[in-house]
Amino acid sequence: MASFMLKDGMELGTASAATQIEGGELDHSWMRWARRGHIRDGTSPARANDHYSRWQEDDRRMADMGMQIARIGVEWARIEPKEGMFDQAAIDHYVQEIRWLNEHGIKPLVTLHHFTNPMWFEKMGAFEKRANLQYFLRFVTRMVQAFGADVTEYITINEPNVYAMLGYYFGTWPPGKKRFFKAMRVMSVLTVAHVQAYQLIHALQRGMGVQDTRVSYALHMQVYEPQNPNKFTHRLGAYLADRCFQGSVSKAMELGVFRWPIRNLGKIKKGLYCDFIALNYYTRATMEGFQTGTRRGVPVSDLGWEIYPQGIVECLRKLEQLHTLPIYVTENGTCDNRDAFRSRYLFEHLQALCQSGLPVKRYYHWCFLDNFEWLEGESARFGLVRVNFTTQRRTVKQSGKFFAEIIKQGGVTEAMYEAYVADQQYAIKEK
């Protein structure tokens, strides 16, 4: 059918990360990585969207488009530029923005760590060392105390599996190391970081008399399948990718259940360490041994990622087997530089969620503005709003208008489908 209704009580909005939108010459790991020439288009997060200065313009546009929720990040390197030295003006800036969002009917979900470390923390070994968690937890304490009752929903750590694997196994992200067991140690330390932050946030909020606080971490999941199901090495590769990249991580972080390759470095007891499922989903991948690929003949984004809407449901069903909790899709979107198929992507993924029978409460589209997209720099556009990075002019795309209409109508009507979706086609992977 070319229509669907949102689930009762389901809210829609967008997600962002501070490093990707704020701009500024800050001393952090991604700025250093860019200066070393690792960004494909030669840009850096120093420009991005200049959101730190233009936040009122951007947030006003979000409100005008009817956004009900917003996932935003705070930049640790801005708040604590030197170890133990906190910038109160930066903290006040984030408090001001949070209060503005609340006052305009946009509920904030705050991410405390989204890939980027201050360089003083990076030089200490960051999350390679469990002893360094005291610094992260001190930062968490400072921000939770500053926000008080203005924030009742937190993501402790965004995509710990991506941070560990790309930074410490594949070496394509900072700090550029390439050791599997180092990556697994970092993942294990991040598990302790999440559990301790989860417990800390709840304790702090109770101490301030704040009720109904919800805390989780955001897990990046893909559907992994063997390129050729008849080949043992392909099946083994798919199994190991699923287990090492996401399966073991979810059990450890959410339930305190540890299995190889994640180790229990913090003597964590079995329990429940999340208040909602937080899934970041983008694509399906195939495995030929340990090589990741994409099937021929499938629809793909401008980055060559397969567009596989049913995968979002498949991933959530795996997580639902661990426990029954409210579901937040904390990231979902596509690189579509011409905005040629994003409306179709939105329609198909939201329709899959709404027809799934799963308790989906939130959907955060990645992202609101075209931004600095990590290794791709400014060349990969995921936004509902087009940004001219030179002039910083913002223009709402057709997909942005479609998303706003979905919020307003509580779903997609046949007329909306014809107007925004019917004529859109995906590119197909040929080789």
Supply the DSSP string of 195-231, one letter for each residue. HHHHHHHHHHHHHTT--S-EEEEEEEEEEEEESSTT-
Is pLDDT of 431 > 80? Answer: no
C-beta neighbour count of 150 within 10 angstroms: 16
Instruction: Please give the pLDDT value at position 430.
Output: 85
Peptide bond into 45 cis (omega under 30): no
The amino acid occupying position 389 is F
Is pLDDT of 164 > 90? Answer: yes
**pLDDT tens, residue by residue, 231-266:** 999 999 999 999 999 999 999 999 999 999 999 999
What are the φ/ψ torsions at residue 231 (nearest 5 degrees)? -100, 125
Task: For residue 162, give the nearest of 260, 272, 266, 244 by alpha carbon.
Answer: 244
With the CA atoms of 67, 73, 79 and 84 taken in that order, what torsion angle do they form, in degrees rounded to the nearest 10?
A: 140
Instruction: Please give the pLDDT value at position 143.
Output: 98
Q: Which pLDDT band, with edges at 50, 70 and 90, does 66 fall under?
A: very high
Return the structure tokens found at 348. Answer: 């198909």
Q: At 23, is the secondary structure helix, strand, or coil?
A: coil
Q: Determine the Cα angle at 11 with ends 10 and 17, to 5°.
A: 135
**45, 34 Cβ separation under 8 angstroms:** yes
E-strand ranges in 25-121 read: 69-73, 107-113
Q: Are strands 393-396 and 385-388 parallel, antiparallel or unpaired?
A: antiparallel
As a whole number of angstroms, the distance between CA 190 and CA 382 comes to: 27
Q: Residues of the chain with pLDDT > 70: what percent?
A: 100
**pLDDT tens, residue by residue, 212-223:** 999 999 999 999
pTM: 0.97
Sorted by where each begins, the domain ranges of the chain are 4-428
Q: Determine the Cα angle at 81 with ends 77 and 82, to 5°.
A: 130
Question: In sequence order, which residues have a C-beta less than 8 Å from that of residue 29 and are 6 or more positions away?
Answer: 115, 116, 117, 118, 119, 122, 126, 174, 175
Q: How many residues does the chain have?
A: 431
Across 175-200, average pLDDT? 97
**pLDDT tens, residue by residue, 96-154:** 999 999 999 999 999 999 999 999 999 999 999 999 999 999 999 999 999 999 999 99
As a whole number of angstroms, the distance between CA 370 and CA 367 comes to: 7
Is pLDDT of 1 > 80? Answer: no
Instruction: Please give the pLDDT value at position 243.
Output: 94
**327, 360 Cβ separation under 8 angstroms:** yes
Across 390-395, average pLDDT? 98
As a whole number of angstroms, the distance between CA 162 and CA 175 comes to: 13
As a whole number of angstroms, the distance between CA 404 and CA 412 comes to: 11
Instruction: Please give the pLDDT value at position 68.
Output: 98
Topology (CATH level 3) of domain 4-428? TIM Barrel (3.20.20)
Task: For residue 394, give the nearest of 127, 12, 64 by alpha carbon.
Answer: 64
Average pLDDT taken over every residue of the chain: 97
